[in-house]
Amino acid sequence: MPPEVSMPASNFTMWGMLILMALGAAMSAGVFHGGFYSSIREAYPADTVQRGALHRCGEMDGEFSRFSAHDREVCYHALLPMAGQSAQPAAFEK
The radius of gyration of the chain from alpha carbons, rounded to an integer in Å, stands at 24
Kindly give the residue spans of alpha helices, DSSP state H, lying in the chain: 3-6, 12-28, 34-43, 48-60, 69-79, 81-86
Highest mean pLDDT among 2-16, 22-36, 54-68, 70-84: 54-68
Domain count, the chain: 1
pTM over 0.85: no
Residue 42 covered by a domain? yes
> What is each CA distance from 45 to 39, 41, 42, 49, in whole angstroms?
10, 5, 5, 9
Residue 27 covered by a domain? no
pLDDT at 34: 62
Evaluate whether 54 touches 60 at the Cβ level (below 8 Å).
Answer: no
Question: Residues 28-74: pLDDT tens digits?
Answer: 655 555 667 788 889 999 999 999 999 999 999 989 999 999 999 99
Residue 79 covered by a domain? yes
Confidence class for position 89, pLDDT limits 50, 70, 90: very low
- The helix-helix angle for 34-43 and 69-79 (nearest 10°) equals 20
Residue 1 covered by a domain? no
Residues 6+ apart with CB under 8 A from 57: 64, 66, 71, 75, 78, 79
pLDDT at 86: 43
